[in-house]
Amino acid sequence: MAPEPPASLLAAQAYARLRADILNNRLMPGTPLSVPALAARLDMSRSPVREAVQRLIHDGLATQVAHRGAAVARIDPAELDDLYVVKEPLEGLATRLATPRLTLDGERRLRRMVEEHERLLESGAPESAHVQMDLDLHRYIREVAGNAALTATLERFEGKTNLAFPTLWSDPEASRLAVEEHRAIVEAMIAGDPGGAERAARDHVERIRLRWARRMVTAYRRPESAAGA
């Protein structure tokens, strides 16, 4: 029998699988995160799963409910809006810092990312594929920027802000606009225009925030008959 992987590796695997399930809406907001049940589902011992759940709580993807244990975090529209307001200039800064550090290999990688995302859009790929492509692009830009403090700050926002992603990517028009915005960011970076790249990145985050806000207004708007009651 092969030896069991180290506990740290198992915890990382459990975290990755649970995080993906949350972002892909396989674990819906409010779903209890029972360590025994998740351990059975993931075919792991409870210790690495417990560590993974604690990391989800730290990242904002789960919350600790008094007397009930952990649960998948619910989306608070006001909190999410506040986070995107702060995220906008920081993503712009990351893109501006990354632009002069971009190598030819980096240019090719960014182009491939955008082209692959366009192909996924045309093929009708599931929301999970779009979420992952979006995450990959922005993470790579932060990696190229090479500012550890900025990366750490943005990564702290990532859990909460990404809770809205599956909803946003389920709208074909919003998906098309987001990919176009990604292309604008990449083209400005490849052109060696730090200011233009920063503006494109900030515009992208701001437009995502506005699209999300409009969806929330639509979702919670009362019917005309109820409004007049």
Report field, pTM of the whole predicted structure over 0.75: yes
Sign of the CA dihedral with 89 first, then 91, 93, and 96 last: negative
Cβ atoms < 10 Å from Cβ of 98: 25
| Percent of all residues in the chain with a pLDDT value above 70, rounded to a whole number | 89
Cα separation, 16 vs 1, whole angstroms: 25
Output the average pLDDT for the chain: 87
Q: Which of 3-7, 43-47, 115-119, 207-211 has the lowest mean pLDDT?
A: 3-7
pLDDT range class, residue 224, cuts 50, 70, 90: very low
Q: Which residues fall within 8 angstroms of residue 91, CB to CB, at 6 or more apart?
A: 138, 154, 201, 202, 204, 205
* φ, ψ dihedrals at 2, nearest 5°: -70, 145
More confident residue, 102 or 26: 102
Specify whether the CB–CB gap between 167 and 22 falls below 8 A. no
Partners of 72 in the β-ladder: 62
Does residue 5 register a pLDDT over 80?
A: no
Query: 70 in helix, strand or coil?
Result: strand
Q: Which residues fall within 8 angstroms of residue 146, CB to CB, at 6 or more apart?
A: 97, 98, 101
